[in-house]
Amino acid sequence: MTQESNGDRASAAGRLASSGNDATQYWQQQLDSVREWAATSFGLPGWLLTILSVTAVVLLLDLLCYFLLGRLERRLSKSPRRWDDALVHGLRRPLRVWLWLAGICAILTLAAQALEAGGVTPYTALAFGLITLAMLLWTEVRLMKRLEQRLVFPPGNSHAKGVDQTSASAITKIVGSLTLLAITLVGLQMLGVSVSSLLALGGVGGILIGFAARDVMANFFGGMVIHLDKPFRVGHWIRSPDREIEGVVEDIGWRLTRIRTFAGPPIYVPNAVFSHIVVETPSRMHVRLLWETVGVRYQDAHAVEAITRDIADMLGRDDDIENDELITVTVNGFADTSINIMIYALTRVIDWQRFNEAKQHILLAVRDIIYRHGAELATPASRVYLPDEIKLRQARDQEALESDDNSRQHGEADDARRGSQRRRNAGQRAPLESDEQSDAEGDG
Question: Within 13 Å of residue 295, how many CA atoms lie on the same side as its CB?
Answer: 11
Name residue 328's beta-bridge partners: 344
End-to-end CA distance of the chain: 177
The tens place of each residue's pLDDT in the chain, 444 residues long, gives: 444 444 444 454 444 444 445 545 555 566 666 666 666 666 666 667 777 777 888 889 889 888 888 888 888 777 777 777 788 888 888 988 998 888 888 888 777 776 777 677 788 888 888 898 999 999 888 888 888 887 777 776 666 676 777 777 777 877 888 888 888 888 888 887 776 766 665 555 556 555 556 777 788 788 888 877 888 888 888 999 888 889 999 988 878 899 999 888 999 999 888 888 899 888 888 889 999 999 999 999 999 999 999 999 999 999 889 888 889 999 999 988 899 999 999 999 888 889 999 999 999 999 999 999 999 998 887 766 655 555 556 666 666 666 666 666 666 666 666 666 666 665 554 454 444 444 444 444
Residues 275 and 293 in one domain: no
Q: Exposed, middle or buried, 217 (CB in 10 Å: 0-12/13-18/19+)?
A: middle
Q: How many domains, in total, are found in the chain?
A: 4
Residues 365 and 228 in one domain: no
Question: What local confidence, expressed as pLDDT, does residue 409 receive?
Answer: 63
Are the beta carbons of 301 and 338 closer than 8 angstroms? Answer: no
Question: The domain spanning residue 235 has which CATH number?
Answer: 2.30.30.60
Question: What local confidence, expressed as pLDDT, does residue 381 receive?
Answer: 73
Q: Exposed, middle or buried, 81 (CB in 10 Å: 0-12/13-18/19+)?
A: middle
Last residue of a domain, one of 351, 372, 393: 372
**Residues whose CB falls within 8 Å of the CB of residue 114, separated by 6 or more in sequence, listed in order:** 45, 46, 47
Question: What local confidence, expressed as pLDDT, does residue 192 receive?
Answer: 79
Residues 52 and 12 in one domain: no
Question: The domain spanning residue 313 has which CATH number?
Answer: 3.30.70.100
Last residue of a domain, one of 317, 349, 372: 372
Residues 247 and 135 in one domain: no
The model carries a pTM of 0.51
Q: Which of 230, 222, 272 is nearest to 249 (CA)?
A: 230
Q: Exposed, middle or buried, 151 (CB in 10 Å: 0-12/13-18/19+)?
A: buried
Domain assignment of residue 54, yes or no: yes
Residues 4 and 135 in one domain: no
Q: Which of 342, 346, 336, 324 is nearest to 382 (CA)?
A: 336
If you compute the radius of gyration of the chain from its CA atoms, what whole number of angstroms results? 48
How far apart CA 11 and CA 107 sit, in angstroms, is 35
Question: What local confidence, expressed as pLDDT, does residue 1 receive?
Answer: 44
Domain assignment of residue 95, yes or no: yes
How far apart CA 110 and CA 279 sit, in angstroms, is 64
Domain assignment of residue 332, yes or no: yes
Question: What local confidence, expressed as pLDDT, does residue 358 receive?
Answer: 92
Residues 356 and 232 in one domain: no
Domain assignment of residue 128, yes or no: yes
**Residues whose CB falls within 8 Å of the CB of residue 121, separated by 6 or more in sequence, listed in order:** 109, 112, 113
Q: Which is it for strands 256-260 and 266-270: parallel, antiparallel or unpaired?
A: antiparallel
Question: What local confidence, expressed as pLDDT, does residue 52 receive?
Answer: 78
Greatest alpha-carbon pair distance for the chain in Å reads 178
Residues 106 and 174 in one domain: yes
Domain assignment of residue 127, yes or no: yes
Residues 258 and 341 in one domain: no
Residues 138 and 173 in one domain: yes
Domain assignment of residue 391, yes or no: no
Structural domain harbouring 137: 44-193
Residues 217 and 188 in one domain: no
Last residue of a domain, one of 338, 372, 406: 372
Q: Which of 165, 139, 158 is nearest to 69 (CA)?
A: 139
